Amino acid sequence: MYTPNRLKAHLAAGHVAFGCWVGGGSPTNAEILGHAGFDFLLVDHEHGVGETSEIIDTLRAIETTPSPALVRVPWNDHVFLKRVLDAGVQSVMIPSVDTAEAALSAVRACRYPPQGIRGYAAGVVRASTFGLEPGYIHKANENMLIAVQIESHTAVDNAEAIAATEGADIIFIGVNDLAGSIGRLEQTGHPEVRELVQRAEKAILASGKIMGTVPNAGASVAELIERGYRVIAGPHDVALLRDAGLAAVAEYRALRKGGQVAASPHLQKSY
């Protein structure tokens, strides 16, 4: 359903946006996290669970909350982008953008002509409130927030040109895959990885574009903010559920080992 893009307005006002990943495929979990106070929910359809049709269910859940959605698509595919935009996605993230040409293709896929190549079905799709939003095609182009991911050493080499792409609003460093591109997967604190990140940061900050990433071994949330990041995708719904479950079971086992089940936050609170 059409509404002004709250995440875009938040960033335009100069604020930092701290969000949570939603990759478990549960609209209910997305709705819960949307009421938790995150600045955005990053719905992951690159690695996350779910098909295109299920994006609508997750969007409906998130739209009942104060947190806006940012959806990561599986690939820089203009057909998939067209479908999720028609479903009502207003903020989109495209992974593995290695060149300025790829960044421009992503932007053009998200915009109606003459600024882009997005196919027309505005009279009937959910994004236009099923044709009820006056002037939707013009509003849609202005309302769109586009994030492209730098995730390889090749992308870092092209970071200046990628960041210079008009319409690429957020340049998001995917530090884990960036590390993997030089054989350092899961070594985000390694000096070689940090050197690539610093090169990308320099190019992005010089462009004036919004810079984003995830907390990692090379930087905490506080350090990222200090370095100029304004979009930070923090915890993941699956990890939050996993860690809460592990904590509750560990606490219970420790109490059983001691011969008693005493009062505790994890064990006593259910509803």
Whether residue 85 contacts residue 150, with contact meaning beta carbons closer than 8 Å, is answered with no
- Where are the chain's structural domains? 6-236
Question: Active site residue: 15, 35, 47, 138, which one?
Answer: 47
Residue with tokens 């990308």: 200
pLDDT of residue 246 exceeding 70, the answer is yes
- Is 35 labeled as catalytic in the residue annotation? no
**Residue 224 has which token pair?**
């990222």
Q: What pLDDT, on the 0 to 100 scale, is given for residue 50?
A: 81
- 84 and 52 in contact (C-beta within 8 Å)? yes
Q: 48 with 262: CB under 8 angstroms?
A: no
- Say which residues have a Cβ less than 8 Å from residue 85's Cβ, sequence separation at least 6: 92, 110, 118, 127, 140, 144
Within 10 angstroms of residue 52's Cβ, the number of other Cβ atoms is 13
Task: Assess contact for 149 and 174: CB atoms under 8 A.
Answer: yes
pLDDT level of residue 264 (50, 70, 90 thresholds): low
Query: How wide is the angle at C-alpha 17 spanned by C-alphas 15 and 23, nearest 5°?
Result: 170
Kindly state the tokens that stand for 125.
């799709």
pLDDT at residue 269 in the model: 62
Please indicate whether residue 199 or residue 1 has the higher confidence score (pLDDT). Answer: 199
**Token pair of 152 as six digits:** 């390889």
Helix or strand or coil: residue 152?
A: coil
Say whether pLDDT at 238 is over 90. yes
Structure tokens at 122: 């505005």
| Helix (H) or strand (E) segment spanning residue 130 | none
Phi and psi, residue 29, nearest 5° = -60, -40
CA distances from 145 to 9, 85, 151, 260 (A): 10, 11, 19, 54
Q: Give the per-residue pLDDT at 6.
A: 98
* Mean pLDDT value of segment 46-56: 88
Query: Are the C-beta atoms of residues 231 and 170 closer than 8 Å to each other?
Result: yes
Of the listed ranges 87-91, 106-110, 253-257, 265-269, the least confidently predicted one is: 265-269
Whether omega for the bond prior to residue 114 falls within 30 degrees of 0, making it cis, is: yes
In this prediction the pTM is: 0.94
Structural tokens at position 20: 């949570």
Tell me the pLDDT band of 267, cut-offs 50, 70 and 90.
Answer: low
Q: How many CA atoms lie within 13 A of 207 on its CB side?
A: 23
DSSP of 36-75 = TT-SEEEEESSSSS--HHHHHHHHHHHTTSSSPEEEE-SS
**pLDDT computed for residue 227 by the predictor:** 98
Whole-number pLDDT of residue 208: 98
Stretch 189-211: mean pLDDT, rounded?
98
Architecture in CATH for domain 6-236: Alpha-Beta Barrel (3.20)
- Tokens 């940090």 belong to 194
